[in-house]
Structure 1
């Protein structure tokens, strides 16, 4: 179920939209680096796949190609991407190293206020679901949401969290608030760092999938109260797992 990262109609262009946006002139390099790092941390372009072409990335970020190349050079130096030449060349995301191990877990948890992250995530997720339901979605946007849900149902275990992230980012984007979307992308990146420290539990994933389907159904039915309540419950399940493993 590989997703084509260079397809501009329904491919990376759609799944990167919640994260990539024009940067402010004063901090172009820093903000561009932050956004592309979010793309990598969220797994929106998985290991082994290619980032959008330099021209597209530069246009989306509102920076020069010179600045973009400086950003990509930093990512190469950090071992996150590699440049390949030739007809099928470009900038490719390198597979992430195994995030396991007690030392890594302690490092990640030490600098994070888990309760704050989880509460902020719930506020944003519940709000996004309610806004989508209350304002309604066009046919095209409703289909985007259905496709994101279907992708999670079809995902192999190793790819589940990336596609789960994409579903939630899609809901955030469809809420109509770019500020909410940007804030959610940032908090979700932190949540994913924490989730990488705990095992994937099939029973929990099955439960999550039922909740995903119920949230999407409530949104498409325009039932804002139900959408908010189901999303609140869904966030609570993830929070319980993280608290159980990490605190």
Structure 2
């Protein structure tokens, strides 16, 4: 069978400028607080037009990598690392069509499992009270319908992520949760008995809270992964379900 090729996508000049600046920042050749050359100097160094330089700087600024003002004689300022910038980049990736639901769920299983393991180890009385408060908010949201309940559900998981004390876990949790929010609400709305589904979810979260309070992070992580599999398995193919089941069973 002859080889199958994909259409080649043209790369614009400004993208090459962005790539080189990003590479310089990532390798440390450019450090936070330093400045890029002026627009005129960038035009000369890259051999491109002013509009190309400005488009590249716009992209870099939207990604939180530099702060730029057209015509600034001092050149664009390289900004320090920003969690908000990372979250924005990951959100764009998570919404790409090439990223499947199965991949998102696999990632969420791993992230939430790790969050529960750490939360059970690092928990404080104040954090346990916050987790209890998030669960109470879920209970109150039952009467307000699927959308309100789904938002309260994700707020509970965000609380667990914060308890991990790991900024990357917090950011990753928020990104993935935002992608699946509509799906959670849609599943509840289509359920023959949405209140029964919400009651089951509350019971699961009660068990997870009890496991964290007891310091049993492994049980809490197992509960979280099993619930995710149960909740979303019918949206996946048999092959995708098998891959997720490995994470649930640990084999």
Q: TM-score, normalised by structure 2?
A: 0.52
**1:170 alignment partner, SS class:** helix
| C-alpha contact (below 8 Å) 2:113/2:222 kept by paired residues | yes
Confirm or deny that 1:144 pairs with 2:160: no
Distance 1:233 1:134, change over 3 A: same
Q: Deviation at 1:233?
A: 1.3
Q: Could you say which residue in structure 1 is the equivalent of 2:38? A: none
Q: Could you say which residue in structure 1 is the equivalent of 2:151? A: 162
Which of 103, 107, 112 pairs up with 1:120? 107
Distance 1:145 1:29, change over 3 A: same
| C-alpha contact (below 8 Å) 2:117/2:221 kept by paired residues | yes
Q: What's the RMSD between the two structures over aligned residues?
A: 3.1
Q: Deviation at 1:198?
A: 3.8
**1:208 alignment partner, SS class:** helix
| C-alpha contact (below 8 Å) 2:83/2:171 kept by paired residues | no
2-structure distance, mates of 1:210, 1:130: 20
| C-alpha contact (below 8 Å) 1:132/1:175 kept by paired residues | yes
1-structure distance, mates of 2:197, 2:83: 41
Confirm or deny that 1:183 pairs with 2:172: yes
- What runs of 5+ residues in structure 2 fail to find an aligned partner? 1-31, 34-56, 66-81, 85-94, 242-251
1-structure distance, mates of 2:199, 2:64: 37
Which of structures 1 and 2 has the bigger CA Rg? 2
Q: Hey, which bits of structure 1, 4+ residues long, moved more than 6 A?
A: none
2-structure distance, mates of 1:62, 1:209: 31
1-structure distance, mates of 2:227, 2:149: 16
Q: Could you say which residue in structure 1 is the equivalent of 2:162? A: 173
Q: TM-score, normalised by structure 1?
A: 0.53
Which of 197, 205, 218 pairs up with 2:198? 205
Q: Could you say which residue in structure 1 is the equivalent of 2:19? A: none
| C-alpha contact (below 8 Å) 2:115/2:161 kept by paired residues | yes
Q: Deviation at 1:28?
A: 5.5
- What runs of 5+ residues in structure 1 fail to find an aligned partner? 1-23, 33-60, 64-107
Larger relative contact order (CA 8 Å, sep ≥ 6): 1
| C-alpha contact (below 8 Å) 1:198/1:242 kept by paired residues | no
- Number of residue pairs the alignment of both structures matches: 149
2-structure distance, mates of 1:31, 1:217: 40
2-structure distance, mates of 1:242, 1:163: 22
Confirm or deny that 1:130 pairs with 2:131: no
* Per-residue CA distance 1:74-124 (angstroms, 9 max, x = gap): xxxxxxxxxxxxxxxxxxxxxxxxxxxxxxxxxx89554111011101111
Q: Could you say which residue in structure 1 is the equivalent of 2:236? A: 243
